[in-house]
Amino acid sequence: MALTHLRVVLLAAATLQLLFLSSTDAGEVGVCYGRDADNLIDPTRVVDLLKQNSITMVRIYDTDPTVLRALANSGIKVMVALSNKDLDSGIGRDQNSAQQWVNNNVVSYYNQGVLINGVTVGNEVFKQRSDLTGMLVPAMRYVQEVLKAANLADVIKVSTPVAFDALGVSFPPSAGQFRDDIPQSVLKQMIDFLRETGSYFSINLYPHADPSEHISLEYATFGINGGVFDEGSGVTYYSLFDAQLDAVYYAIDRVSRSSSSVSTSMAQQNGPIDTIVSESSLAGSGGRIPSHSMATLANNEADQLVPKEIAQAYNNGLVRRVLSGAPRDVSAYIFSLFNENLKAGPPMERNFGIFYPNGTKVYDVDFVHGGSTCRSKATWCVAKKGVENARLQAAIDYACNNGADCSAIQQGQACYQPNTLVAHASYAFNDYYQRKGQASGTCDFSGAASIVDRPSPS
């Protein structure tokens, strides 16, 4: 009895060690190219737009011939989709239909120079089309078989994007687990499939989908914050994104460990599967942040339309985070390339774009420098403790008058809380420091500031 218990504990420890010793290579940033609109610039111009902005990866929601032909020989990687509608129509229900679809819609384009790197089978099936749950993993296997026969299984990975609400528990991250009403056997078969084929678990991560109360706007948008402590693991998280991502890893680990002993040892041998973020964005600019999710904002602030600066802060933060490769390696697709005027739902749904339909920027997302300033190590500039108020205020004034954008710490704005001189100083100092590319000497402010790897919990 005691021995069995010990063995379980050791296995769990080994798995956890694998979970947290993943490499810190940088990930890659892509953008979701949704086309639920009737006013978008045509695909050849879209490809130019992608190149001009150094966007190297896109995810599309179908296998549209015009789009794929435009992307041929562009050097841009493309994740294509076998949609829920395709699944429903019977594609992927047997090997023959899968073969026909994959050959016509994936292999033929790959052979024409389209850098297809993945096929998503269904999208958010558990959430959007739970009636298709039973056929999901078999369809993934059929698609995989065809790719294998075409010798493309190493370059084109099969996955299925899962909505974050598939997690019944996401806080604290170490308690992460999938909802009970999603068949655990399906999750297990899926995870086994992804592991066997060297693919990855795909999660659609929207911070506002997290009902946890431990969320400040800074924490949700990769800003400076005191961090959120996970008592279960002893880890402090400095972004909601990383907390959510770890919750997914813990949930996957729970499913893997609940499997038979044979599979458990296999999981141990092969390590945890990778996760990619197949969609992420804070909110569409001009949309609303649901008030329940930003508990630290006053109600009236939470009910306001999301200023585009906040969506911009999130997406630029996401680029920095992915390119830094820390605290764990992950690739992510920003949702979305364009505002899509035909999407249903509240206005926010039609305003996720980083570009207007005509190709003009809604706001800047820096896909290049977002990474170069902190590719090796993300550092922050914060106010030192114990500096007298007058010196701090003088330093804030200097930063704000010399390039730092201090609009967010004005009364009523996103980063006004906590309303302390030290918090405002840290915001202003860091904004100045990051805008100067973390150059040496740009985090001093007459000795009122210092550089840290991570802002410490306040």
Which stretches of the chain bind ligand NAG, using CB under 6 A? 356, 358, 360
Q: How many CB atoms lie within 10 A of CB 386?
A: 6
How far apart are CB 39 and ligand NAG at their closest, in Å? 9
**CA–CA gap between residue 80 and residue 117 (Å, rounded):** 8
Which CB atom, from 356 or from 398, has the smaller least distance to ligand NAG?
356
- Cβ(143)–Cβ(121) under 8 Å? yes
How far CA 333 is from CA of 206, 278, 302, in Å, comes to: 12, 5, 26
Nearer to ligand NAG, 363 or 416 (CB): 363
Verify whether residue 301 is a known catalytic residue: no
Closest approach, Cβ 40 to ligand NAG, in A, equals 11
Distance CA 137, CA 91 (A): 13
Cα angle, residue 450 at apex, residues 446 and 451 outer, rounded to 5°? 140
Nearer to ligand NAG, 52 or 360 (CB): 360
Q: Which of 145, 279, 301, 309 is catalytic?
A: 279
Catalytic residue (one of 124, 196, 231, 340): 124
406 to 8, 253, 313: CA distances (angstroms):
52, 42, 14
Closest CA to 332 of 245, 421, 256, 218: 245
Q: Which is nearer to ligand NAG, 358 or 420 (CB)?
A: 358
C-alpha atoms less than 13 angstroms from C-alpha of 332 in its C-beta half-sphere: 30
In the complex, minimum distance from the CB of residue 356 to ligand NAG, in angstroms, rounded to a whole number:
4
What's the min distance (Å) between Cβ of 362 and ligand NAG?
A: 8
Alpha carbon distance 337, 352 (integer Å): 8
Select 44 or 99, whichever has its Cβ closest to ligand NAG.
Answer: 44
Residue 364 CB, nearest approach to ligand NAG (Å): 15
Is 279 labeled as catalytic in the residue annotation?
yes
With contact defined as beta carbons under 8 Å apart, do 117 and 153 qualify?
no
Catalytic residues: 124, 279
